[in-house]
Amino acid sequence: LMAFRLGLRAARAPADIVITSSPSMFLAPVCWLLARTKSGKFVWDVRDVGWEYAGESRMASRRIEPLLTVLQRYMWFVMRRADLIVAATPGIAELLSQRIARSKKVLLIGNSVTSELRDAFKVCQERVAKPRPLVAYVGLIGDAQGLAVLVDVAEKLPSTDFMIVGEGPERDQLERRIAELRLRNVR
């Protein structure tokens, strides 16, 4: 639903190029259709290939395996139609190049920190006094992230503070677990 809402909002503006980044993988098909309706180019920045390992989730069952197969085929269908694919890692770039017909469309722009960026961050090295150690997670709160393990660790380390920041399909379940355990060291 999020992908469709964003697509509808973006449909109001003109565009020569539509760029999306996954996750969320469901943005890619919507953005591909959006680019084509606008006679524009479609660029997909691929940070992971979640559709390939969706069946490995503990939530997957034999009943949904055919649906996952359709999802995988559809995502590769959209991938082959992208005008340009940007891969975040060499492994993703290799997989994408193997799976699509024209590997020249795959551009590797890695997740990296340059020495220039590292040097620029030196101005941010001010130490902030904290009474206790702090562990922070910022990102998607989903099954694949395994944040239940972080909650279990927080229960075993009451003298350490934990902060979880994000949204996702597992957030409510994670909040219930934190409340059940009455953890005061998790925000």
pLDDT tens per residue across span 10-55? 787 777 888 888 887 888 998 898 899 888 899 999 988 887 776 6
Q: Give the three-class secondary structure for 6.
A: helix
Say yes or no to pLDDT of 183 above 70: yes
Mean pLDDT, rounded, of the chain: 83
Q: Which whole number is the average pLDDT over 131-141?
A: 85
More confident call, 68 vs 183: 183
Q: What confidence score (pLDDT) does residue 83 get?
A: 92
pLDDT for residue 154 is more than 90: yes
pLDDT computed for residue 63 by the predictor: 74
Share of the chain above pLDDT 90, in %: 26
Contact between residue 84 and residue 41 where contact means Cβ atoms under 8 Å apart? yes
Q: What is the pLDDT of residues 99-110, one digit of tens each?
A: 886 656 888 887
Contact 144, 172 (CB under 8 A): no
Which pLDDT band, with edges at 50, 70 and 90, does 7 fall under?
A: confident
- In the block, which residue shows the tokens 């998607």? 140
Per-residue pLDDT band for 162 (boundaries 50, 70, 90) equals very high
pLDDT at 182 over 80: yes
Retrieve residue 44's tokens.
């997909």
pLDDT at position 60 over 90: no
Residue-level pLDDT at 174: 95
Among 32, 38, 67, 62, smallest CA distance to 51 is for 67
